[in-house]
Amino acid sequence: MAEWEKAPVNEAMDGQQIKILGFIAPLDWENDAELKEFLLVPYFGACIHLPPPPANQIIYVKMEKALKGVQLMDAVWASGIIYVERNDSGSLGASGYRMKIEKVEPYTPDDT
């Protein structure tokens, strides 16, 4: 587990504009309906079942404006700027990246 938390990140990604598909692992809920802080994880159930994925597969997100209508493990497209930055979320795992979100869109099976 300690090795997974130290998984190497891709430094070339720092400051890059990206769009990435992932699943929402909530860190907090506002008013039981709005989400401001979450981990974007690579597969359904990640961080909910132990062990979590390696840190270099997890992106920490803290929204300026809360997301509404999202649920645990929703699949989403996240667009924004990614930064190499470590964040420890306790039992949910450590992330190797942070993302400044510009847009979050639901994923649909028709997306390619």
Q: Which of 38, 39, 44 is nearest to 55 (CA)?
A: 39
pLDDT digits (tens, 9 = 90+) for 19-30: 999 999 998 876
Q: Which of 61, 29, 25 is nearest to 44 (CA)?
A: 25
Residue 86 pLDDT: 93
Residue 14 pLDDT: 97
- pTM score: 0.89
pLDDT digits (tens, 9 = 90+) for 30-89: 666 788 899 999 988 877 667 888 999 999 999 888 888 888 889 999 999 999 999 988
Residue 44 pLDDT: 86
- How far is Cα 80 from Cα 19, in angstroms, rounded to an integer? 7
Residue 22 pLDDT: 95
Domain spanning 2-106: CATH superfamily: Protein of unknown function (DUF3299) (2.40.50.870)
Residue 8 pLDDT: 92
For the chain, domain boundaries: 2-106
Task: Please determine, for residue 94, whether its predicted confidence score (pLDDT) is greater than 90.
Answer: no
Using a 10 angstrom Cβ sphere, with 0-12 exposed, 13-18 middle and 19 or more buried, the burial of residue 24 is: buried
